[in-house]
């Protein structure tokens, strides 16, 4: 069976506020078992929206998937009922949110919070003792002494809280973990520890992962594949080697990376590029990047570039049109 664990096909998402925000536009990517894909891009590129769409956690009143498919083990999640999605969340796909400090309940002990996520998905109605043992095991897995399970979140440091969040996300041994900037809120040394922990757990548990980040060092350290988003589109994707070592790149990628760094980078924030991302309520015709692009040609102003594929490496830019 070589079907992908998750395949996102032609997915578009809008937010209907006073205006229509075109947050994600016809994106395609997939994830194999035990694979990690990095979603990279400036603020507002549509990374979190993509994650929320996969889990169907978009705001009910405004967020709307307008087209596409989200195939999980070959089945379209968009056809699932609310109840079915509830069972998939946590048990099969779980998420570490962008602001993890607020995802813990301040008036519940950390042990009870981990226990709660186990109980929700405990269809076999396991013995309380078995679940307690699992809580201890999860705490140990993320490097917290189990005697601290009776403490409350405020008694933990930022890095420890993030470990608890990871333990909760992993409680039901999901096949896919979506981590939305899991280390951004932490200071640098703690960031490294939490990343090492996530790498270690991924290895041990064989979890596939979507890693959303602004940090190229994180991409180099944790990802097998990378998708670069701009104005709701994936403008370049490929293996981590393609993204760091290939000669051809989308002009946006080159701008973002400053220069293409090698895979040994420790940590490198994305480079600020001159100009702003277009207003998502009023996207430009043609290539969405053309107003900021140094290589802009006439065709870029009116024709949307389809991705050109060089093996697994795909670049949506007119510069490469004639090369295939």
Ligand X SMILES: Nc1ncnc2c1ncn2[C@@H]1O[C@H](COP(=O)(O)OP(=O)(O)OP(=O)(O)O)[C@@H](O)[C@H]1O
24 φ, ψ (degrees, to nearest 5): -135, 130
Contact mark string toward Mg ion, 214..253, x via CB under 5 A: ----------------------------------------
Choose among Mg ion, ligand X, none what residue 43 binds, the Cβ cut-off being 5 to 8 Å by kind: ligand X
Kindly state whether residue 103 participates in binding Mg ion, applying the rule CB under 5 A: no
Kindly state whether residue 213 participates in binding Mg ion, applying the rule CB under 5 A: no
Interacting residues toward ligand X by CB under 6 A: 15, 17, 21, 23, 41, 43-49, 59, 62, 98, 280
Instruction: Please report where in the chains the tokens 């999640």 appear, as a residue.
Output: 77
Nearer to ligand X, 43 or 311 (CB): 43
Nearer to Mg ion, 48 or 253 (CB): 48
Task: Kindly state the smallest distance separating residue 277's Cβ from ligand X, in Å.
Answer: 8
Nearer to ligand X, 121 or 268 (CB): 268
171 closest CA partner among 213, 141, 128, 214: 141
- CA dist 286 and 51 (Å) reads 26
Long-range interactions of 54-61: CB distance < 8 A, separation 24+: 54/6, 54/8, 54/93, 54/178, 54/210, 55/85, 55/89, 55/93, 55/95, 55/178, 56/80, 56/85, 57/89, 57/95, 58/13, 59/15
- Residue in 12, 25, 36, 48 binding Mg ion, rule: CB under 5 A: 48
Task: Kindly state the smallest distance separating residue 92's Cβ from ligand X, in Å.
Answer: 22
- CA dist 174 and 181 (Å) reads 18
Task: Kindly state the smallest distance separating residue 187's Cβ from ligand X, in Å.
Answer: 19
Number of H helices, E strands in the chain: 10, 12
Residues with Cβ within 8 Å of 116's Cβ and at least 6 positions away in sequence, in order, are 108
Choose among Mg ion, ligand X, none what residue 315 binds, the Cβ cut-off being 5 to 8 Å by kind: none
Kindly state whether residue 183 participates in binding Mg ion, applying the rule CB under 5 A: no
Residue ranges in contact with Mg ion by CB under 5 A: 48
């Amino acid at each position: 069976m070589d079907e992908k664990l998750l395949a996102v096909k032609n997915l578009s998402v809008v937010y209907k506020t006073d205006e229509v925000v075109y947050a994600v536009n016809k994106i395609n990517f997939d994830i194999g078992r035990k694979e990690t894909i990095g979603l990279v891009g400036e603020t507002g590129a549509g990374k979190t929206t993509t994650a929320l769409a996969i889990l169907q956690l978009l705001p009910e009143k405004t967020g709307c998937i307008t087209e596409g498919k989200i195939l999980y083990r070959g089945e379209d999640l968009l056809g699932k009922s609310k109840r079915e999605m509830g069972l998939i969340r946590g048990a099969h796909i779980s998420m570490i949110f962008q602001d993890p400090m607020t995802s813990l309940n301040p008036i519940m002990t950390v042990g009870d919070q981990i226990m709660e996520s186990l109980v929700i998905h405990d269809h076999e109605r396991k013995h309380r003792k078995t679940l307690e043992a699992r809580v201890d095991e999860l705490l140990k897995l993320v490097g917290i002494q189990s005697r601290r399970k009776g403490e409350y979140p405020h008694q933990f440091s930022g890095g420890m809280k993030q470990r608890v969040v990871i333990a909760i996300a992993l409680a039901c041994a999901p096949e896919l973990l979506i981590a939305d900037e899991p280390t951004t809120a932490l200071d640098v040394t703690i960031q490294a520890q939490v990343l090492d922990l996530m790498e270690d757990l991924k290895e041990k548990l064989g979890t596939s992962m979507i890693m959303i980040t602004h940090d190229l060092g994180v991409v180099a350290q944790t990802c097998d594949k990378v998708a670069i988003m701009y104005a709701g589109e994936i403008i370049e994707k490929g293996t981590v080697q393609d993204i760091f070592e290939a000669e051809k790149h989308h002009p946006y990628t080159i701008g973002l990376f400053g220069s293409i760094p090698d895979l040994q980078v420790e940590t490198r924030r994305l480079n600020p590029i001159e100009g702003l991302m277009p207003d998502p309520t009023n996207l430009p015709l043609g290539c969405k990047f053309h107003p900021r692009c140094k290589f802009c040609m006439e065709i870029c102003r009116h024709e949307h570039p389809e991705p050109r594929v060089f093996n697994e490496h795909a670049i949506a830019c007119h510069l490469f049109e004639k090369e295939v």
